[in-house]
Structure 1
């Protein structure tokens, strides 16, 4: 969790006064066969999507609610209520809330660990996959940029399943209204849509929210049982409209995007100066399972800082990028390295000839659509030698306008049948995975130590 719920947060009148609302379009719902609402914790659905649930039910659309966790970690220091007792209370509260919204709705409780949903997304994904979603189904889930790990995991998983099944998808912010302000660059204004609520729908939404008594009132007078969600927080959900986030752009970013991005900048990412980048680069090079490679390929080399480190580990190295300006900088940096070739290539449309025993894909694959990423993985599988190594490293936080997230990218790498995971390094900020041809043998096994 990237915020403290005990802080005052941004007042709702500040949000309502934001001029950006004038550019936010209305949500249009047509020809829905089913609404599937994913809730990371009991009460997420009531706070973020209860108006939509009511609206769908009134249109005769079946509603299915999937509750990932029981929310039993909401009061970790409670002296009066055990986690098991709180889980039972919160399940009952959710069922009561749903009765106010869509009495005929079905509810699934997955009972995954509260606060650790990232570790159990495969279970959530399998359950959502079993619902046989299709193009006329709409799945809504917590916004993956909400600042809460469970919300991020729920939103990203729902988005992945929706994409795979061709279903429609929306995400709803909950905590963003608390920790952000209207001018915060993380607020995805360009992707917001609003759903207007009637007075009757607002009243039913308020009843649903208040049904979650354990979150809206103290469990007892004892320390550790304090109210979790105060009136100032609830103000965000008393509006005559609900807000949803539409999916990230689905198309691969064009070469003009990168040309514009690099214009007038020598090192826009801070590769040469930021300790974060220096450390990550050192970890990337240290992850290589062999001291030397015959033929390396780096996709998306930018200004060639990582390229210079890889050059010392490869007998020959081909580095590509989509934009001319960083390529010029990279060529100047490696001008004395005759075994390094740096060329422009619009991957995956263009792909270099040859076989490679090292392929590095660092901070580039989230620029590609899901379809183009699949194309790249197929090209890597064809170009990789039998003893080849693939290194993938990507930023995990959401970026407005990028087609994919780092977690989505690495999941695709892990699911490809031609690749086996050899090692992994996971931090809140980035993922670093190393793959080989199956089966994956450890460095100790490969070198005869075990």
Structure 2
């Protein structure tokens, strides 16, 4: 018998737990958290790590909205670079979106292909979303959706407007209702890119370097109309429904009413909607283009309030990179550039910087970016420093400052809307199941819904 109680003990005067920030000793055995004790608790351990006075111990963060793009578009990102970027940013779990890979994750065969590609490259743990598209929804044949559910995807992403890639089509209102009904019957979850195709087609077209023109091309009303459809369908079917990357605060009253009525609805927003503002986007700076768009500063304030009130559940990156040429930086044309913000590695620091300025604490950010994304997606054992959970940790210096240099990020391409931004909160170590993450020895696992 070993003469110690734990494989690993981490002592931190600032330990972020579900009960708040406390001084604590965290005991780990076989890759699991088995005890959270007082800071001075006498314990025997094979390894003891004491954090510096300027460091805090956070749960490993969870990003349930990452576009890895592999296979098929590995030149845009890929599992090796995406998971290293996640680890460098304090994330120990990501859930991969079913696009923009080729093939998209809309069949069991495609899911198996993606898992095989990811298996040897995973620096952090990876789960997968499936996709609900016309091909696996139309004509009432939803057997492929059920098969994907049985293979452990965490839910199904759908678009109510064009996705930007031909191989992942958007659903009409009728197709959406068919998919949601079927998904509800087998206990699944639908996650929705909620912009209405009809409203977008009626809006003025975006062209040129003027960001205001791009903003007008994707009005708040497009989100309103799509969110109303999501709410109406969730109310009718009882299917768990999740609104992706909410950008407009003007949709919050409808969301609030639905939640008060007991509609099974959750909502996320993203770091770029909480930290950037339309008024600050430079002309032609297409690295800021995303769908739905970054809106105004007053809108940003309202999103923060909704997050604090619990009306918005969580904050996820929607990391959606591309090759730099697709951003059309030479013309700065917001109409033709690829829409997506590359921000996985810097998401925590960006949000923590803004949150601290607004009076929120580390426990708030850990809840929004760790515990709550895991709960919404259904990823068990992640996002909390609590007995029974995986021993996943981020060691952070909350008050240390740095300037983001996109050239030093682990992302495949050095293009980011955050380049040159001064932030607080430096991630110094990331631990996965009780072991420090080593970029040269990827030990991440592939996760499935329980």
Using the size of structure 2 for normalisation, the TM-score is 0.25
Greater C-alpha Rg:
1
Using the size of structure 1 for normalisation, the TM-score is 0.25
